[in-house]
Chain A
Amino acid sequence: MPGSETSDRILQAIYRAVDAVNEERPKDQGLQKSPQTTLFGKGGQLDSLGLVSFIVEVEQQVEEELGVSITLADERAMSQQKSPFLTIRSLADYVSLLVEENEAGKR
C-alpha cells in the first residue's frame, strides 16, 4: 500500500470531494469528514445519484492531488465482496490500492 503521506493526501482529496457534494446538499444532511462516515448501502447517506456525483468528485480530486487518473466504478469495484463505497475508510483503502497499482504500472 502507498506510504502514510500518500494515504493522507488521498483522505484529504476525499474530504474535498465531501465539501463539493455538501454544497449541493441541504445543510442538515451534509456528509461528515470522518473515515467512519457511511456512504452507500445499509445506513448510507447517499442515494444512487448522490453516489455518482461523489465518485466523479473523488476521481477529479485524486487526479488533481496526485496526478493519477483512476476509475472507481468499474466491474472490479462492483464485484468486491465488500463494497468500496460503504464508508469513507473503505473508499480511501480502495483508492490507495488503485493508486498503488497505477504507480507499479509506471515502474
Chain B
Amino acid sequence: MKQENDKPVMLITGTSRGIGKYLVEHYLARDFCVIGCSRSPATHEPVGGYQHFQLDVSDEVAVKMLFAEINRSFRRLDVLINNAGIASMNHMLLTPAQTARNILETNFVGTFLFCREAARLMKRKGFGRIVNFATVATPLRLEGEAVYAASKAAVLSFTEIIARELAPFGITANTVGPTPIRTDLIRSVPPEKIEQLVERQAIKRLGEMRDVANVIDFFIRPESDFITGQAIFLGGV
C-alpha cells in the first residue's frame, strides 16, 4: 500500500454518474488518489482517497479555485480525465442557439479550461497525462447529433494541437472516442437509432465502461510517454 503522498493524483470530471463514476472506482482500486467533480453533489459514498468538488466545468473562476486547492493539498497532478460532457439529440433545424452554446461551453470550453490549468500544474514535475473524450458521432457523421459531434470535433482538434504544445513539458494528451454505452447520455435516444449506429461499427455491440477504462489505462501508463495526439475510437469506427 502506497502512502497517500506517494500515490499518483488523478482528476476526473463528470463523476456523479455514468462513465465518470465508474472510472473513480476503477482508479481508486488501482491505488490512485482521485479527485472528482460534477455540477451535482457527490453520489459516491465517502471513501478514502476520493474527494469531490461541486462545480460547472465551464466556470473559469470555479475551475481555477479547484486547481488552487489541488495545488495546496497535493502540489502535483499526474492525470486529468476530461469526461464531463452533455449531449442533445435534435435536428439542426430545431436546435436553439442556447442549446448549442451550452454544449460548446461544457464539452469544449470545459475541456480547454481543465487542460490549461492541469498542464500548469503538471509542467512543474515535467510529467502529465491528459485524456479527453471524443465520440464516434464525429467520424460517423451522425444525423441528429450535429452540435454534439461538432463540439467533440473541436475537442479532437484541440487535443491534437495541445499534444504538440505540451510535449516539451513531458505531458501527453490523447483522446478516447466511445461508442454508445448504456448511460444517461443516451437515455433519450430511441433504441432503433442506437441499433443503426451499432450496425455501422466493425464490432457490433454496445460499448462497456471497461472498454473506455482499457483505453485510458493504456494512455496513462508511464510507458506510454511516446504516445500523444492520438485518438482511439472504440468498436472499430
Contact = CB atoms under 8 A, between A and B. Distances in A.
A24 to B, nearest CB: 8
Contact of B123 (A56, A63, A69): A56
Contacts of B124: 20
B68 A63 contact: yes
A49 B168 CA distance: 9
B120 A56 contact: yes
A12 B76 CA distance: 23
A56 B124 CA distance: 10
Nearest to A63: B68
Looking at chain A's contact residues, the main secondary structure is helix
Contacts of A56: 120, 123
Interface residues of A, number: 7
A60 B120 contact: yes
Contacts of B168: 49
A32 interface: no
Contacts of B123: 53, 56
A55 to B, nearest CB: 10
Contacts, number: 9
B81 to A, nearest CB: 22
A69 B168 CA distance: 25
B64 interface: yes
9 contacts: A20-B124, A49-B168, A53-B123, A53-B169, A56-B120, A56-B123, A60-B120, A63-B68, A69-B64
A55 B120 CA distance: 11
Interface in B49-79: 64, 68
A63 B121 CA distance: 13
A82 B7 CA distance: 46
